[in-house]
Amino acid sequence: MTRHLRVDGPTHDDRLDHMAQGILGQPLNRLEGPLKVTGWAAYAAEARPANMVYGVLVQATVPAGKVLEIGDAPGALAVIQDKRMVRYAAQGMDQKGPTSGPDQIEYMGQAIALVVAESFEAARHAAQNIAVRYKVSSVPVEPEAVTPELPPKKQSAAGDVDKAMREAAVTLDQVWHTPSQMSAAMEPHAAIAEWDGDQVTIRAALQMLSSNRKQMADALGIKEQNLRLLSPYVGGGFGSKLGINAEAVSAAIAAKELGRPVMVAMTRQQVFDLAHRRSETRQRIRLACDADGRLTGIGHEVLVSNLPSSEFTEPVAQATPFTYQAAHRQVVHAVARIHRGCAGSVRAPGEAVGVTVFECAMDELAEAAGIDPVELRLRNIPDVEPTTDRPFSSHKLAEALREGARLFGWSNRKPTGQQVEGEWMIGMGMAAAVRVNMLVESRARVTLTQDGQAVVETDMTDIGTGTYTILGQLAAEMLGLPIEQVEVRLGDTNFPPASGSGGSFGAASSGNSVYLACEEIRGQIAKAMDCDEADLTLQDGMARAGNVARLLSDLIDGQISGEGHLQPGKTEKSHRQATWGSHWAEVAVNRWTGEVRVRRMMGVFACGRVLNEKTARSQCLGGMTFGIGIALTEAMEHDSRDGHAVSRDLAEYHIPTHADVPPLEVHFLPERDAYVGPLQAKGLGELGICGAGAAVLNAIHNACGVRVRHLPATPDKIVAGLKD
Amino acid sequence: MREFTYHRAASIADLSPDATIIAGGTNLLDLMKLEVMAPPALVDITHLDLGGVEPEGEGLRIGALVRNSDLAAHPVIRRDYPVLSRALLAGASGQLRNMATTGGNLMQRTRCPYFYDRRMACNKRDPGAGCAAIGGVTRNHAILGASDHCIATYPGDMAVALMALDAVVEIDGPTPRRVPLADFHLLPGDTPHLETVLEPGEIITAVILPAPPGGQHRYRKVRDRASYAFALVSVAAVIATDGGRISHAALAFGGVATKPWRDPEVEALLKGSEPSDALFREAADILLRPARDWGENQFKIPLLRRALIATLRDATGMETAA
Ligand SMILES: Cc1cc2nc3c(=O)[nH]c(=O)nc-3n(C[C@H](O)[C@H](O)[C@H](O)COP(=O)(O)OP(=O)(O)OC[C@H]3O[C@@H](n4cnc5c(N)ncnc54)[C@H](O)[C@@H]3O)c2cc1C
Ligand code: SF4
């Protein structure tokens, strides 16, 4: 039986707080941790089906045009050119395959064919040396070189920001630039495809199996039922594995053609060419406020880029309409159609760079208005969503700001440039954290056997986030079992389709489906106990109601199972759902070299119910680390002549290292959000990123007086603003 | 990767002009996978007797196979040549330093991204093809010692410290010889594919350090992240003062030039002078006189200037860094 819930209204009943097992929320270690550290958790490219051969993608060496002819590949088994091969990855949640037809080249590095050989080395050698004849076209690759599109649906305005700017006591009008960024997951994209008649099984590195299956079936021109995807372990995704990409599609095509299993694994350099990049952004922010710091005007004008044929555009100003109030407001969202690699979702698309820049602007306004940055924010928090008058599902920004200021010791902050230790100038900065919250349809099945073992099955993925663990904890809590008696099976499209991992919605969406499946089972147990489900207590394998207590094994005949099915509903529209927090940083800036060292960093977050204190905290640590990356180190540079990504490995693309990251402090504000399903839990992973970089950049200003508006703040840019 | 033969050398006599030496492999293998280097034959020297750090005269003889991590931790190096220890520890990562050898480190090739990318024209990889870096992303290219044929930096750290220590490279081959490190790396000129004086069939067997120079040792490396990044600018300094005047000044620079850079005029100015900001600024002026930028790397000119001044202030006791 399936327990179905559409979230059309609030869940005020905190029943998960009153379950007996007491395991939900506990800081359990990751269930699959031992498998991972001992190497037993097999990633996509780690299977070795008999008779397998290796494919390596051939990439275009021109920025645009047409493939006229591809030469031979001595030493290879086959050179596969198939019009179903895709030009770039599908976007997250696409229901169809991405643009196919690899002959038409849209960017330098695009996959145009696949070479297959008996060894990876032979395939790679052939792919690197194959002769290709092109008809080359000349195309724009720089965002500022074209007249951008202004998609009508993405523009919004109320009042008159120009007028607000003219009449305000204090104003700010500045332009920021952020570079392209790469998700840079540890595991490069890889797939192994194997056919059995008209059935194909693909082991792949993917985040969202149920939509990936639709994309793949469409791309290959086969029925969904004939396709099984397996992604039990994924070595990080950060958006780059939301949609299927060239490696998995071409592996399936080649495996069919050769009648042998085919592995296609991208090299690290190929990941930089072929995975979605986050678009570079140009952001003009205008702010107007009265003498007391109350905002009267907010303008956020954004320029992003993507290929002409891709629909995705980085939703940079997504949080701008509801973070602060102002009577006059304008969002401009412009898209430059250029031929750099395809842009898509990378770690908190939108807010990661939008909130970061906006929160830098707020810091500049606070300085101009002579108001403490925390106070400026507190004075502008809206009661309802300003653009729509919708209520917020919950709102913890003020609390996160006040609590953060207290915990971080904000009152010790000195005026700009006043704290010096040897060569180092010290400063503190802060920023608000905000990220939209989403729920996505999700299903799960839970089976409880007579011997008290529960099995959770869903095609949800665990991309290193802790899904195995939190879903196990949920089932253990709901069914009253020790965690050792719960097995979680993920990453297989034979299981009920889940939300997948993306947009921070995975834990809450799939968690709610497991909750519902367990409710269904509880209902069946209650029936056997002859009581109301609400009166049932399950703990350590015992069922109790009133003064009756029975062993679960006595109540179950064989096994019982239930499915849970969660759908987002009216609360999506009736309430503005978001997660809130605050970021705090203390940095040291070297007065000679402009090097920045983050000395202390703290985040305060409200994300509804915390399902596992430890995995939740780890998510925030990762997010804050990416915030440091956005502020200080990460930049994917493009050659201005052909648009190609110049830094294509992890030595040159600078993710923060341990030495760049101080011990990070994370605090959660207790919260239950009633409008996001019975779990009362919201998304978390990405919130840690949104604004974190601004705290660092604002701290740099407090330390040395330099505002860096071309991110990242590398030594060259700081030094440019320092005195001799 | 192209097919190649592999042979483990049992003695120096096994080397041949046709086989490329592999030591730690941390640079060579990366380049082979990308086919930036495609040697048909490899000769593995890791089983030769080229290890050990031994006294030689008043100085030291460092075997070519001494691993970077071992050399950095060696007590005599830490005591008498700390600039070398610091430079080594500022390079790469712990894992890489465990593999990387002294000889291989000296021979490491540039990190110019166009050199690494076979889609791009590169005179170093393919003499006469042109230089795609010029007009492209040049943020980390050289401001000193470049030519219109190649603007790539020598990327290493260890060699910069060795320059300041007046190290000598010991070479074996048909005619064994010793070459001062200052003469070992070549400027690109119109032959950027020739990077050192080492001839095919020759091998670096050791690096010789003269007597400990004493004085203050500094290695200051400015980079885009706190660890595991190549230098934007680095300064190796060995400075001694006597009676308020600078008595010994050896300075070498990395990340800014096509080879480990040293400028005798800068040192001549400093020697015998009283430390002062004015003096250090003048030293920077001299150092940067021949500097030329390629657009994006313009910042290296002021950054090198600042790094030099800060290092000199620190080494002469005018300011402590920490
Ligand atoms: C990601 C990354 C980051 C790095 N960061 C830094 C850094 O910050 N600073 C830094 O200085 N270095 C850095 N390195 C470079 C590293 O120091 C070198 O790769 C290493 O020192 C090379 O030593 P090896 O023994 O592994 O050389 P190999 O890779 O074995 O050889 C390199 C070259 O030297 C030749 N060779 C080796 N031994 C001899 C010999 N005895 N005689 C003659 N020729 C020889 C080989 O033929 C080859 O051409 C980094 C490397 C990587 C991969
Ligand atoms: S700078 Fe030198 S190494 Fe780089 S592309 Fe030009 S010639 Fe090649």
How large is the ipTM? 0.97
Does B10 fall in a domain?
yes
What integer best gives the mean pLDDT of chain A? 97
CA-B229 nearest atom, ligand 1: 8
The answer to whether A614 faces chain B, any CB pair under 8 Å, is: no
**CA B199, CA A390: separation in Å to the nearest integer?**
76
Residue type, B278: A
Whether residues A660 and B303 touch (CB distance < 8 A) is answered with: no
Whether residues A422 and B310 touch (CB distance < 8 A) is answered with: no
DSSP state of A660: G
- The residues of A assigned a catalytic role are 686
Averaged over A108-117, what is the pLDDT?
A: 98
What pLDDT score was predicted for residue B320?
Answer: 66
pTM of the full structure: 0.98
- DSSP for A475-490 reads HHHHHT--GGGEEEE-
Does B300 fall in a domain?
yes
Does B156 fall in a domain?
no
**CA B208, CA B171: separation in Å to the nearest integer?**
11
Instruction: Identify whether the C-beta of residue A191 lies closer than 8 Å to the C-beta of residue A244.
Output: no
DSSP state of A173: E
How distant is the Cα of B210 from the closest Cα of chain A, in angstroms? 32
Cα of B151 from ligand 1 centre, angstroms: 20
**CA A571, CA A391: separation in Å to the nearest integer?**
10
Does B190 fall in a domain?
no
Q: 3-state DSSP call for residue A436?
A: strand
- The number of CA neighbours under 13 Å toward the Cβ of B57 is 6
Does B259 fall in a domain?
yes
**A723 band by pLDDT with thresholds 50, 70 and 90:** confident
Q: Which domain holds residue B299?
A: 216-321
Question: In chain A, what percentage of residues exceed pLDDT 70?
Answer: 100
Whether residues B224 and A714 touch (CB distance < 8 A) is answered with: yes
Cα of B24 from ligand 1 centre, angstroms: 7
- Does residue B110's CB lie within 6 angstroms of at least one atom of ligand 2? yes
Q: At what angle do helices A506-529 and A467-479 cross, to 10 degrees?
A: 20
CA-B134 nearest atom, ligand 2: 6
Best mutation site among B62, B88, B96 for ligand 1, i.e. most ligand atoms within 8 A of its Cβ? B96
- Does residue B153's CB lie within 6 angstroms of at least one atom of ligand 2? no
**B319 band by pLDDT with thresholds 50, 70 and 90:** confident
Residues with CB under 6 A from ligand 1: A 651; B 20-28, 30, 45, 64, 91-92, 96, 99-101, 103-105, 107-108, 156-158, 198, 203-204, 230
Whether residues B222 and A595 touch (CB distance < 8 A) is answered with: yes
pLDDT digits over B36-88, tens only?
Answer: 999 999 999 999 999 999 999 999 999 999 999 999 999 999 999 999 999 99
Averaged over B127-156, what is the pLDDT?
A: 98
**B321 band by pLDDT with thresholds 50, 70 and 90:** low
Q: Is the dihedral of CA A305, A311, A312, A316 positive or negative?
A: positive
Does B78 fall in a domain?
no
**CA B68, CA B89: separation in Å to the nearest integer?**
8
Q: Which residue has the tokens 């993925």?
A: A461
pLDDT digits over B16-34, tens only?
Answer: 999 999 999 999 999 999 9
Strands, E assignment, A607-676 = 664-668
- DSSP for A396-414 reads -HHHHHHHHHHHHTGGGPP
pLDDT digits over A366-413, tens only?
Answer: 999 999 999 999 999 999 999 999 999 999 999 999 999 999 999 999
Number of CB atoms found within 10 A of residue A20's CB: 14
Number of CB atoms found within 10 A of residue A177's CB: 15
Quote the tokens at residue A696. 């660092």
Whether residues A657 and B225 touch (CB distance < 8 A) is answered with: yes
Cα of A188 from ligand 2 centre, angstroms: 28
How distant is the Cα of A646 from the closest Cα of chain B, in angstroms? 6
The pair phi, psi for residue A644, each rounded to 5°, is: -70, 150
Q: How many domains does chain B have?
A: 2
Averaged over A69-91, what is the pLDDT?
A: 97
Contacts 24+ apart (CB under 8 A), A126-130: A126/A56, A126/A73, A126/A74, A126/A75, A126/A76, A126/A79, A127/A56, A127/A57, A127/A58, A127/A59, A127/A73, A128/B34, A128/B35, A128/B118, A129/A73, A129/B35, A130/A58, A130/A70, A130/A71, A130/A72, A130/A73, A130/A79
**CA A51, CA A256: separation in Å to the nearest integer?**
13
Does B199 fall in a domain?
no
Best mutation site among B15, B27, B171, B199 for ligand 1, i.e. most ligand atoms within 8 A of its Cβ? B27
The answer to whether A723 faces chain B, any CB pair under 8 Å, is: no
How distant is the Cα of A121 from the closest Cα of chain B, in angstroms? 6
Q: What residues contact residue A647 under an 8 Å CB cut-off, 6+ apart?
A: A272, A635, A636, A637, A653, B113
Dihedral class, residue A65 (left if φ above 0, else alpha if ψ from -120 to 50, else beta): left
Q: Environment class of residue A39 by beta-carbon count within 10 Å: exposed (0-12), middle (13-18) or buried (19+)?
A: exposed
Question: In chain A, what percentage of residues exceed pLDDT 90?
Answer: 99
Q: Which residue has the tokens 């290959």?
A: A220
Domains and CATH numbers, chain A: 2-41+439-570 (3.30.365.10), 44-138+183-274 (3.30.365.10), 350-437+577-723 (3.30.365.10)
Give the closest ligand to the alpha carbon of residue B207.
Answer: 1
At residue A366's C-alpha, the angle toward residues A362 and A369, to 5°, is 135
Q: Is residue B1 scored above 80 in pLDDT?
A: no
What pLDDT score was predicted for residue B322?
Answer: 59
Does B42 fall in a domain?
yes
Quote the tokens at residue A649. 């490995």
CATH code of the domain in which B24 resides: 3.30.43.10
The pair phi, psi for residue A694, each rounded to 5°, is: -65, -40
Cα of B26 from ligand 1 centre, angstroms: 6
The pair phi, psi for residue B250, each rounded to 5°, is: -125, 120
Whether residues B306 and A656 touch (CB distance < 8 A) is answered with: no
CATH code of the domain in which B240 resides: 3.30.390.50
